Chain A
């Protein structure tokens, strides 16, 4: 089996991968990074989103061998070394932007990419950017609130609980 080498959360990592090994499988099974969730395995839910060379992608729809030499960032790479959560993660906690938490790694990765190029997204921009992230629990309202908080914006009409 060919060896695949990539930089994952700043560390060089190598492991064997078949042609058909998905990046999601490689991260979870070969590298033990199980924070990347596999919800659908059919490119629909966004739970498996990681960053590849600075772009959010569905790791269930990319081959491990395609990531040879790439820079990968996963949910495990979001918090600081001392465990301090990233601003996006902390906002999800504060606004209760999660219930079961299954979609959360993908949500955090998508939002992190969004805020990098759009630091103050409107609610419509948030919705448009999160079209590929499905959440079965929250109804999305608290997720949108979390994005507003993470981008230092007022909650406006979403401030009330009703």
Chain B
């Protein structure tokens, strides 16, 4: 019985990535856990946790987060599923526009909506003023729960829309016809058949929305005001308006991780109850949307994407309105851009591109290698690598940020304030998604194609580089575009790690909002929006189809 003892590339990769992930994923996570269990003097204690649970003020942040996130998830489903249903089962006019604009809605930076809605409905918002001056009506406050709900629901319903489109596409037309034969049509059919069949996807979309909304830092920070959610709390404990308390920030982080992990496993359990697979041999034939029903469908779809996307356009518009940086005046000018230029605009753009491209390359390389190890070289260690890579999935961005500072801020690493730690943050946060999509792509590729290459005399490395990777590329590219946008608009982790040297467009926007310089902020935000729109349009142009975008 022989064993192949020769040096093997993939064995080396396994070892490298196992150690690397231990260092950049597991070590910071344990660092947080450790930190939460020590007091300022370095003694082992549960004081941080008891402090959290003792004060209503702190526990409320979690309850608040929970409340608003659950409502956001439900509302997103409620408005996203009908949109997807109309889109998938009827021939809507301008369906492409609906799709592309929806994607743009969910790709814009998380807090841009908040900024824009404040400009519209906030204390000095134009709609507020309009109603006050013309109708003498005082609109209710947009700040707090309502504002967070409005902004997040409008940002996340497109996620539901995109997920559900995939599910509805897989429903076989014969199932629809069969249920019609048995007298089940209309609304009843939608709930009994179509929605039931799509349940796994509904759950997947819910989880996605929940995770993102729960971890969102920018929106509640800007529009939440007194309604404190806990990403905001972690941040303020860490940056410490009342002195830094790492231990306490760590304790809140641990609690956050436990909650997201719980939600994650609950979702997995629920999905397990709907274990069936469908794939359509005869995809649903879209019906024409005619008559009053058709009109209402169009109205619904266009109104929704208009409300979702208009804030972005409004910000671009505002960026050209005359202002002194803080207060908008009459007339138009490039003042906002001029002021922004003085506030590190060039550096922000440079950093955004450098960090974006740099992290994207690293993420793609890692994702390709890890997915190969997991899919083609199944082994306990590679399985462990996969599990480690998924850890950030349950870590809210602010927690990742803090964990990285605690792990690498001091010697021997001393990475605070470097580009390295910024990139590290982006890589860690985005990698799980890219690995998932790369693995899914690789699983579609028959191993015999690689075997054919090897039997033709190609080395393993050459087979990987010349055959496997090119075949994965379409899947990688479609995942990369969303990664790119997510990286460029990342806020909640970077906010803890950035400094003046590593500031990015997103960070600059946030800083200006925070200082009340709404004019300047709009200039930054407008550039950010244009970058996002351009990225997506270039992608659609290059790939020739908008159907391939994967989340």
The answer on A and B forming one complex is no
Which of A's residues lie within 8 Å of B, judged by CB?
none
* B positions within 8 Å CB-CB of A: none
